[in-house]
Structure 1
């Protein structure tokens, strides 16, 4: 007769329960980890639409258009003589109300297969009252403005002598600072281009925070 085998012993109720609880605990941990990862991915996705990583590790707001610094102006130009860098009524204003700082930059934007040149200037006045006066003056027709770098012949652009005739415009007041933006297509623009150029100029206002000291 073959030797009898000892009957198998089933695990005791204590061991079975401990294993069950262990598996449930592991499952809860995995759910928590997956939920955390999903939350992080959602947060990152939301942030990417409104900001981008800066070179200093911080974030900076994104623009609708891609503004590239003109190759002839790799760094913003800073000055403290706004009289020599302006014309018409704005020039007269600075003769009586000198600015404390002027920062200017020129950007190039590709739109619908055409080049747009965008001038960004930030004027810092001694006080907020002077900045408000300048803001009002620059948004009034036929009063002049701060020179863009094309008008000042610092940059040569085919078909353009300045960005102020028939192009886009936007300005912004922030304390003692007035940001002034002018844009125009290479070769000049038409009446139907005005809305697009105004939109580009408005979008470029944020660049003023990057170029001022």
Structure 2
């Protein structure tokens, strides 16, 4: 009996015929499909598009500018609230003619819209006060002239303010004692000095109207007020003029603080 034949491809197939002789290798068709045990192949990720260097630097610069501006606002806020830099009372820094509000409203005289400054007090004083300056010269003199018409009054009031700057508080105190004593003279008022003029204006001086004075360190502030033309006044009227002068002391305080 002959050995059974293995089935092979049909004769018309292009595949080679199996070996029919003993010892020959049997033909096995090639597997083209992927094996089930092989790992699954993922697709390669697409590379990111290249960045724009100009846009990157623009964003960085904008960020730095924003940080700098914000830091400036924070610094300014902290400086304004710092105890070492308290806000000025009344807002903006005041000039010589800007003083805190008081009881009466004063207007600078047309002949003296700004305070007048001098350095020779002996040449701008009289009597015992002049003699004091001759032996104890001042370092400066500031004079200002104002007008006012308080409510209920029908006469114009003239008020002049003098700030005498002395080398020491002791010298200012000595001058103060002399100036408060009757009939010892005074600083020459703007009318007698020829700085200002007004119809009916008489002589300003101690006892001629409302008088007030005040020491401020090495400065002596002197204020006098009177109606023009000056008439004989009652004690009540003199007391009122004195209250006007007392209110005008704030001008002298402002001048003394500014130096």
Q: TM-score, normalization: structure 2?
A: 0.59
**2:231 aligned residue:** 189
Alpha-carbon separation, structure 2, partners of 1:208 and 1:67: 13
| Among candidates 109, 112, 119, match of residue 70 of structure 1 | 109
Given that residues 54 and 60 in structure 1 are in contact (C-alpha distance below 8 angstroms), is that contact kept between their aligned partners in structure 2? no
| Among candidates 232, 242, 245, match of residue 201 of structure 1 | 245
Given that residues 105 and 211 in structure 1 are in contact (C-alpha distance below 8 angstroms), is that contact kept between their aligned partners in structure 2? no
Given that residues 53 and 60 in structure 1 are in contact (C-alpha distance below 8 angstroms), is that contact kept between their aligned partners in structure 2? no
CA positional deviation for 1:151:
1.8
Larger radius of gyration: 2
CA positional deviation for 1:56:
3.0
**2:183 aligned residue:** 142
**1:211 aligned residue:** 255
Alpha-carbon separation, structure 2, partners of 1:120 and 1:57: 18
Within 5 A, what are the aligned runs for 1:163-178? 163-164=204-205, 166-178=208-220
Alpha-carbon separation, structure 2, partners of 1:169 and 1:60: 20
CA positional deviation for 1:53:
4.1
Given that residues 167 and 189 in structure 1 are in contact (C-alpha distance below 8 angstroms), is that contact kept between their aligned partners in structure 2? no
**1:97 aligned residue:** 136
The answer as to 2:169 corresponding to 1:128 is: yes
For these two proteins, the number of residue pairs brought into alignment is 162
CA positional deviation for 1:97:
0.3
Q: Runs ≥4 in structure 1, deviation > 2 angstroms?
A: 52-61, 209-213
CA positional deviation for 1:61:
2.8
CA positional deviation for 1:198:
0.6
CA positional deviation for 1:143:
0.2
The answer as to 2:124 corresponding to 1:85 is: yes
**1:108 aligned residue:** 147
Alpha-carbon separation, structure 2, partners of 1:166 and 1:178: 20
Q: TM-score, normalization: structure 1?
A: 0.71
Given that residues 117 and 186 in structure 1 are in contact (C-alpha distance below 8 angstroms), is that contact kept between their aligned partners in structure 2? yes
- Which structure has more relative contact order (CA 8 Å, sep 6+)? It is 1
Q: 1:159 to 1:54 in 2, by over 3 A?
A: farther
CA positional deviation for 1:54:
5.7
